[in-house]
Amino acid sequence: MNFHVLTLFPDMILQGVNTSITGRAIKNGVVSVSAVNIRDYAGNKHMKVDDYPYGGGAGLVMQAAPVCAAYDALAESLGKRPRVVYMTPQGYTFNQKMAQDFAKEEELVILCGHYEGIDERALERIVTDYVSIGDYVLTGGELPAMVVIDAVSRLVPGVLHNSESAETESFENGLLEYPQYTRPEVFEGKRVPEVLLSGHHANVEKWRLEKSIERTKKYRPDLYQAYCERNGIGI
Ligand code: SAM
């Protein structure tokens, strides 16, 4: 899968994704991440890509022309016009289901805004998906883009090794994951739950499901309610 990030800060993206599991996937050629500098498409000698908002108000707005030109050049080089995800606090909140959906694409463009955002006409022309990473406002779309790249790429076949499988993780079955333990058996006087040492697979699975349900009910009552509805459980 190939991610193409349209940004004013390409270094931020490239430095952020080249480590850990995404870094390994890039090195192995399973995933690629390219960062297109929107400023390269400024089309003026001062490389200016922003201007004051019509109607007044604080800050600067990224101009439509460089954003569209950056996308058009990318689309031309790919020979198709891929889906464009605009990172914005005004979008649908990113979740595992969206990550699964994006992971089916061969090419995915992620557009990062900065300052007060991007001229609406560019968004109307190229954006297919408006995605937020939560109800707070960040300085730019680069960190959100990295969040999306990380979550999506670990669902691309071949990115995670078997031992890192995504299948049992939080949200995959609509529940949060059960608590995890590793050696030593006793840490500061606290023992690992006995069932996990029993070697009894069915009991371990039963315990894990119970714990998943317990913590989903406690921390994410919205998910717990949906789980109960799906499974015909009365609350
Ligand atoms: N004026 C915009 C508004 O009120 O909706 C906020 C602009 S924000 C300062 C600059 C850029 O950061 C946005 O264009 C977007 O790309 C990114 N951004 C900020 N918060 C975000 C969030 N919660 N999720 C995704 N992107 C975000």
What is the tens place of the pLDDT at every residue in 65-76? 999 999 999 999
Collapsed DSSP state (helix, strand, coil) of residue 141: coil
pLDDT attached to residue 163: 62
Pocket flag, ligand 1, residue 63 (CB < 6 Å): no
- CA distances in angstroms from 66 to 33, 35, 44, listed in the order given: 20, 15, 10
Q: CATH homologous superfamily of domain 2-153?
A: SPOUT methyltransferase, trefoil knot domain (3.40.1280.10)
Angle at 74 between CA 34 and CA 78, to 5 degrees: 95
Does residue 64 register a pLDDT over 90? yes
Pocket flag, ligand 1, residue 137 (CB < 6 Å): yes
Tell me where in the chain the CATH 1.10.1270.20 domain(s) lie: 170-230
Torsions phi, psi of 182, nearest 5?
-140, 180
Question: Residue 172's pLDDT band (boundaries 50, 70, 90)?
Answer: confident
Pocket flag, ligand 1, residue 66 (CB < 6 Å): no
d(CA 59, CA 70): 23
Query: Probe ligand 1: pick from 6, 87, 98, 142, max atoms within 8 Å of CB?
Result: 87
Q: Comparing C-alpha atoms, which of 146, 2, 130 is closest to residue 77?
A: 2
Atom of ligand 1 nearest to the CA of 134: 23
Q: Return the beta strands (E) in the chain as ranges.
A: 2-7, 32-37, 50-51, 61-62, 84-93, 107-112, 129-132, 186-187, 190-191
> What is the identity of the amino acid at 88?
T
Tell me where in the chain the CATH 3.40.1280.10 domain(s) lie: 2-153
Residue-wise pLDDT for 102-135, tens only, equals: 999 999 999 999 999 999 999 999 999 999 999 9
Residue-wise pLDDT for 194-229, tens only, equals: 999 999 999 999 999 999 999 999 999 999 999 999
* CATH architecture, domain 170-230: Orthogonal Bundle (1.10)
Lowest mean pLDDT among 51-60, 79-88, 170-179: 170-179
Mean pLDDT of the chain: 96
Pocket flag, ligand 1, residue 141 (CB < 6 Å): yes
pLDDT attached to residue 168: 76
